[in-house]
Amino acid sequence: MKSLVMVCLLTLAASGDAWAQSQIDTVKVTGGTIQGVAANNVVSFKGIPFAAPPTNLNRWRAPQPVRAWSGVKRADTFGPGCMQDPSMAVMFGAPPKVSEDCLYLNVWTPARTASERLPVMVWIYGGGFSAGMTSIPLYDGTRLAHQGVIVVSIAYRVGPFGFLAARQLAHEGKGTGNYGLLDLIAGLQWVKKNIDGFGGDSAHVTIFGESAGGIAVSILAASPLAKGLFQRAISESGGNFQPPKFANEGGLNGQPLKLAEKEGDEFLTNLGTRDIMAARTVSADLIQRDGAAASAPRFWPVFDGYVLPGDEYELYELNRFNDTPVLIGTNSDEGALFAQPGVTATSFRAQVQQGYDIKAGSILTAYPSSTDAEAATSSKNLFRDTAFAWPTWTWARLQSRVGKNPVFIYYFDHRTPLSPEGATHGAEMQYVFGNFDTRQGAPSAADAALSEHMMAYWVNFAKTGNPNGTGLPNWPAFTQNSQQVLYLDATIAAKPVPNSAQLQVLDDYFAWRRAEAEKR
């Protein structure tokens, strides 16, 4: 009996070895040859350089060609996160190491041969363009890869290293201030050139991201530099359709180039020099420290006329965007993460009157504040709608009206004991990746079922441009005449756009802001 068991074990081990050997574990890519690690029927390749280190003379430059290496590089460890405060990494269980030398990407492939030509999903992390990294365990691509796609995650520079605009930088080349976005474009170019060797289809790429990553997806959808680098787009809680920000206008983010350059020049002066070559010799730690100071500018993608040619709303109206199928959505209680403590009826009204100018009255009617408790709720909901819900709804309206490809909207409203008032910002990601944070307890059967449905929707969309499939509740495309969104919860069903009355008020506000911006 013992000998029989031993024979069975040896047979299973041999078949497992044969299966592993039939997978793609060594690939020649730009720069050299890499070897991945097989586990759970997926081979992962981590820490693949896709550009030269953006250090020294390469600081605040577009990504430069990758440096070649000899021999076989073991791709078994994530590259360090790009320079930032490492507290986000610690919070999410990622290695806290950060460095300027950070332009690495990762690949998870289930393919056994290079001829399989599987669809590719390229992940872009969030973090307010000041933080984020690919090594966060939540972003592991194994579970999605099990659904028959290749998953790639790309690192990009953040904070002052990724989004400093300055006049001297503009004189060095085209555009300034969007180096983090140029990193993503370089990563997508790497995918186009190399992913076939992993069993992927370079003409079948979906970009997907959350928060700042979702905003980056939106910008790539409008950037001529990204044309042809992807064929589908998924944005979770992202969108960049607000007009440019000149001062402290409510609900606005990106600045026009001249203003961003002015603030960037002041930042360099505070470093001790306005000479850009000298600034490239300043320690990364000092730049990171000053970039995190309360007096520092907010480092954010800039309307530079190059990576981002202009106001995305206007670009879409002119049909100047990369027209692909789009899957976008928001969460029901996104504003809770950003809620300011101690909001009162008085302080909320003052904030709205200061930020929303002549439209403050209509905003306060839509977001009432008769009590302090009501004001606190309105404050977080106003942030939710200006930052996430209105840009998503606007993106859907423009895509359905101007584009040739469909748009699908979701509304993630899954409530848990930790978030009884609605789904908070980023809550959907663990369902999309199938990676639950067990520090918060084991997922329930309902959580697991919802995750399976969401992974299927996302992967179906990556495969066909339509999230629908066998066994899934129907997800209708959003149209001007039928503005339906898919509510994602224990019960999945299509319903009208939530909070539509408030969104209409914001639409009037943003239209007024856009008209005012055009007068400048």
pLDDT digits 0-9 by tens, 101-111? 999 999 999 99
Question: Which amino acid appears at position 233 of this protein?
Answer: A
pLDDT tens figures, 128-138:
999 999 999 99
Q: Please state the rounded mean pLDDT for residues 431-438.
A: 94
Is residue 14 situated within a structural domain? no
Using 50, 70 and 90 to split pLDDT, how confident is the model at 438? confident
Is residue 371 situated within a structural domain? yes
Please identify which of the residues 237, 249, 425, 428 carries the catalytic annotation. 425
Question: How far is the CA of 190 from the CAs of 214, 238, 335, 466, in angstroms?
Answer: 20, 24, 36, 26
Using 50, 70 and 90 to split pLDDT, how confident is the model at 2? very low
Q: Report the percentage of the chain scoring pLDDT > 90.
A: 91
**Domains in the chain, number:** 1
Is residue 20 situated within a structural domain? no
Query: Which residue range(s) make up the domain with 113?
Result: 30-518
Q: Which H/E stretch holds residue 151?
A: strand 150-154
Taking phi over 0 as left and psi of -120 to 50 as alpha, with beta for the rest, 483 belongs to beta
Tokens of 442: 């084991």
Please identify which of the residues 312, 334, 369, 378 carries the catalytic annotation. 334
pLDDT at position 9 over 50: no
Using 50, 70 and 90 to split pLDDT, how confident is the model at 22? low
pLDDT on residue 174:
85
Using 50, 70 and 90 to split pLDDT, how confident is the model at 393? very high
pLDDT tens figures, 178-211:
999 999 999 999 999 999 999 999 999 999 999 9
What is d(CA 133, CA 156) in angstroms, rounded to the nearest whole number?
8
Q: Please state the rounded mean pLDDT for residues 30-47.
A: 97
Tokens of 77: 């460890």
Longest dimension (CA), the chain: 88
pLDDT on residue 439:
79
| Residue 235 a catalytic site member | no
Is residue 13 situated within a structural domain? no
Q: Please state the rounded mean pLDDT for residues 17-28.
A: 71
Which one, of 215, 274, 272, 504, lies nearest residue 385 by Cα? 504
Which one, of 384, 254, 363, lies nearest residue 315 by Cα? 254
Q: Which H/E stretch holds residue 314?
A: helix 312-317
Is residue 17 situated within a structural domain? no
Is residue 15 situated within a structural domain? no
Question: For residues 340 and 379, is the Cβ–Cβ distance under 8 A?
Answer: yes
Using 50, 70 and 90 to split pLDDT, how confident is the model at 43? very high
Q: Please state the rounded mean pLDDT for residues 81-97.
A: 93
pLDDT on residue 239:
97
Residue 67 sits at φ, ψ, to 5 deg, of -85, 130
Regarding pTM above 0.85, the answer is yes
Question: How far is the CA of 417 from the CAs of 422, 423, 441, 443, in angstroms?
Answer: 10, 11, 11, 12
Question: How far is the CA of 139 from the CAs of 392, 431, 436, 481, in angstroms?
Answer: 23, 11, 10, 36
Mean confidence (pLDDT) of the chain: 94
Tokens of 214: 């979702």
**Bridging pattern class, strands 26-29 and 42-49:** unpaired
| Residue 317 a catalytic site member | no
Residue 72 or 16, more confident: 72
pLDDT at position 388 over 70: yes
Is residue 253 situated within a structural domain? yes
Question: Which amino acid appears at position 224 of this protein?
Answer: P
| Residue 374 a catalytic site member | no
Is residue 405 situated within a structural domain? yes
Please identify which of the residues 44, 130, 153, 211 carries the catalytic annotation. 211
pLDDT at position 274 over 90: no
pLDDT at position 18 over 70: no
CATH number at residue 454: 3.40.50.1820
Q: Please state the rounded mean pLDDT for residues 389-396.
A: 98
Q: Please state the rounded mean pLDDT for residues 385-390.
A: 98
Tokens of 369: 């504040």
Question: Which amino acid appears at position 106 of this protein?
Answer: N
pLDDT tens figures, 397-414:
999 999 999 999 999 999
Q: Residue 315's CB: how many other CB atoms inside 10 A?
A: 20
Residue 82's Cβ-side half-sphere holds a number of Cα atoms within 13 Å equal to 29
Exposure class string for 162-182: b at 16+ Cβ within 10 A, else e: bbbbbbbbbeeeebbbbbbbb
pLDDT at position 1 over 60: no
